[in-house]
Amino acid sequence: MNKYKKILIIMCLAISCFTMSACFSYKDINKVLFVTALVVDADDKGNPVLYAEVFKGVRGNSPEGMDQRILFNGTGKTMFEAVRNMNATSSFKLNYTQNQVTIFTQKAAEFGLENYVDFMDRDQELLVRPYIAVFRGDAQELMTLQITQEKYIGLYITELIENIGASPRAVVTTLNDYLNERVTGDKTSVLTIVDIAKNTLETKLEINGGAVIENDKMVSVLQRNQGLGYNFLRDKLSTGTLEVTNPCDINKFVTLEITKSKTKTKISYSDGIVHLTKKIKVNVDFAEAQKSILFTKENIIKIQEKAEENIVKACDLLFTKYKGLDIDIFQIKDKFYDKYPKVKIEDIINETELKVEVEVQINNTGTVRNFE
């Protein structure tokens, strides 16, 4: 390195020292409210009604950890106006860089998300990494829930979503996923549905299926039991469990824990038919058996075959339903035109035949026991 380069670097460092600023104390951060959840509702005309859950840190001379949860709401003809009106009720700036989840009510989703998402895509503070969900209920009821596990709804829903690896039927979508899917293929997406859990000892939220969005409007509900087929077909599953009939007792079940799952997609076109092949390979460990089981080679093969049969059935039933509804939630159009850009088909899903090939591999059956 010559002396001129050294001088240039020293000058840059010197300038940085004088121009860069940082918080000298907690005084500045105490004047910022960090949004942890943003809820978008709609009035009877479709105008946005916003609710924000914010975190207010209390530092300095106050005891550590004495934070406050504060709620704001605002309305307007547009998202920008609603946000401005909400800010007008706060003595401190609302900062959206720490937002954990964006939730639309079902009413807002049915009016059409195109009324709201453009602002989220353009605003620099509203990042695209948060999860996106639809709440089938009243927005005010959601915001005022008292949940003992976590007082911040935004953090609670985030932890709930990230902890659902145990359930292969749960649907997970980020804002970035939706912004991409709404402009590609058949412009369909499936968003996480959040509900207030029923029949629980205390108030809780739960992930309960998916909201099917087509051209920015909610048009259908993917039931929780349909999530298994959806996640396998979309290659969105890596962990979870499968329950199959116990080969030693048809009235009992065994549980397989998914350790790895991969779905490969093959698409071809001939004689006016789109052939969609999904090759699904699943690695599982043996987790539990009701009653007892003898791990003979024959029984292991029966378990594998039953698991494969269940996955194929779940995929076929889901595909048949949405083919009948003429809704492509499988991104077939996008994949088809990647391979056949010059072939034009008006309604691809109705011209598609699905073939599902599944291979389940049991890697670990644990200690072999027979209690009978």
Cα 144–chain centre separation: 23
Nearest to 243 by CA among 169, 192, 296: 169
> Count of alpha carbons within 13 Å of 204, Cβ hemisphere only?
12
Tokens 């072999």 locate to: 368
Burial of 187 (0-12, 13-18, 19+ CB in 10 A): middle
- Cα dihedral: 223, 224, 227, 229 (round 10): -70
Nearest to 94 by CA among 24, 38, 27, 159: 38
3-state secondary structure of 140: helix
In the chain, the percentage of residues whose pLDDT exceeds 70 is 86
Element holding 286 (H helix, E strand)? strand 273-289
The structural domains of the chain, with segments of one domain joined by +, span 27-222, 226-372
Q: Looking at residues 153-178, what average pLDDT do you find?
A: 82
Q: Is the pLDDT of residue 159 over 70?
A: yes
Which CATH architecture group holds 226-372?
2-Layer Sandwich (3.30)
Burial of 328 (0-12, 13-18, 19+ CB in 10 A): buried
Higher model confidence: residue 214 or residue 64?
214
Gap between the Cα atoms of 20 and 15, Å rounded: 8
> pLDDT tens digits for 309-329?
999 999 999 999 999 999 999
Q: Is the pLDDT of residue 202 over 80?
A: yes
13-22, 111-120, 160-169 — which is least confidently predicted? 13-22
121 band by pLDDT with thresholds 50, 70 and 90: confident
pLDDT score at 10: 45
pLDDT score at 92: 86
Backbone dihedral angles phi then psi of residue 163, each to the nearest 5 degrees:
-100, 5
> CA-CA distances (angstroms) from residue 338 to 92, 210, 355?
49, 27, 20
Residues 6+ apart with CB under 8 A from 64: none
61-65, 153-157, 217-221, 363-367 — which is least confidently predicted? 61-65
Gap between the Cα atoms of 234 and 262, Å rounded: 10
Gap between the Cα atoms of 130 and 103, Å rounded: 10
Spatial strand order of the sheet with 352-364 comes to 240-246, 249-270, 273-289, 352-364
Gap between the Cα atoms of 321 and 66, Å rounded: 51
29 band by pLDDT with thresholds 50, 70 and 90: low
- How large is the C-alpha radius of gyration of the chain? 26
Q: Looking at residues 113-134, what average pLDDT do you find?
A: 88
> pLDDT tens digits for 234-272?
998 878 889 999 999 889 999 999 999 999 999 999 999
pLDDT score at 161: 83
pLDDT score at 110: 96
Q: pTM of the full predicted structure?
A: 0.84
In the chain, the percentage of residues whose pLDDT exceeds 90 is 59
60 band by pLDDT with thresholds 50, 70 and 90: low
Backbone dihedral angles phi then psi of residue 366, each to the nearest 5 degrees:
70, -160
Q: Is the pLDDT of residue 108 over 90?
A: yes
| Helical segments of the chain, H only | 3-19, 79-87, 106-111, 117-122, 139-143, 153-162, 175-181, 227-233, 297-324, 332-339
Residues 101, 130 contacting (CB under 8 angstroms): yes
For residue 192 the two structure tokens come to: 């996480």
199 band by pLDDT with thresholds 50, 70 and 90: confident
pLDDT score at 106: 97
Burial of 299 (0-12, 13-18, 19+ CB in 10 A): middle
pLDDT score at 285: 93
Q: Is the pLDDT of residue 85 over 70?
A: yes
Residues 158, 99 contacting (CB under 8 angstroms): no
3-state secondary structure of 27: coil
Nearest to 247 by CA among 311, 287, 305: 305
117 secondary structure, DSSP code? H
13 band by pLDDT with thresholds 50, 70 and 90: very low
